[in-house]
Amino acid sequence: MLLVCANNERLSKEEGKFPPETSLLFLYPVQDSEKHDTAAARPFVLVLPGGGYSHLAQHEGEPIARWLNDLGIHAGVLHYQVGDFEFADLIKDVEDALKWVREAPKDWNVIPGQVGMIGSSAGGHLASIAATTGTVKPNLLLLCYPVISLHEPYVHQGSRDHFLGANPERELLDAWSSDQRVTAETPPTFIWMTANDSVVPVENSLLFAGALSRHKIPFELHIFEEGRHGLGLADDHAHVRQWLGLAENWLDRYHYVKKEYA
């Protein structure tokens, strides 16, 4: 079940009051300056933090949304269900969030054909599986050191255990490994990670990029030589922090960057 939260500060303090089967969408619209038309429509990107489906990594949520705001992009962070959940309900919450962003009346406007999604680690798995299997898809996809394959030897065990439980059947592993679900309907994708990530092997990103290539989906892949897992904005890693400029250039190519109006 999806609940949209307009007052981020107040509701974040009350988050524990909601049922565990609730996903919360926290909104970060761009605040236009008075000299511009505040009704001007902008792109939107939905942010899915990582955390191995056991918790949510805070540095992969609001800081990412604020970075998108600096680019003139509306954003929202989905505090999706973790721990004990039904994976079908989780996918539906993502779809409902995308549908709400495109269709719900708001004080700020969104370009319906420019609604993207960015996911980190396990959030990258959720974003990629929703973008490949969902009936409601984003228009583009960004993945930061994503979990992609649920098969050995490249699986992140904690993510798989929380998503599918212990000892899942091979059919389930195939169905929820997003590299095996890419189709011609998968959106253009930007991917980055580090080659020596000791938590989520780099092969996850290579598998997804290979699947995109086979289906002729436009994509951009950046693999940095060194860096720990979970860097987020990479404030403490100057070399990897290049991903922000690379992603901005990629988003600009798809006309998402609207800094002149910020």
* Tens-place pLDDT, residues 166-190: 777 888 888 889 999 999 999 999 9
Judged against a pLDDT cut of 50, whether residue 253 lies above it is answered with: yes
pLDDT tens by residue, 7-29: 555 455 455 566 777 899 999 99
| Token pair in block for residue 134 | 């969902």
At 1 the pLDDT is 86
Domains, the chain:
2-261 (3.40.50.1820)
Q: Is the pTM of this model over 0.95?
A: no
Please, what's the b/e burial string for 215-241 (b: 16 or more CB within 10 A of its CB; e: otherwise)? eebebbbbebeebebbbbbbeebeebe
Closest C-alpha to 161, from 21, 53, 23? 53
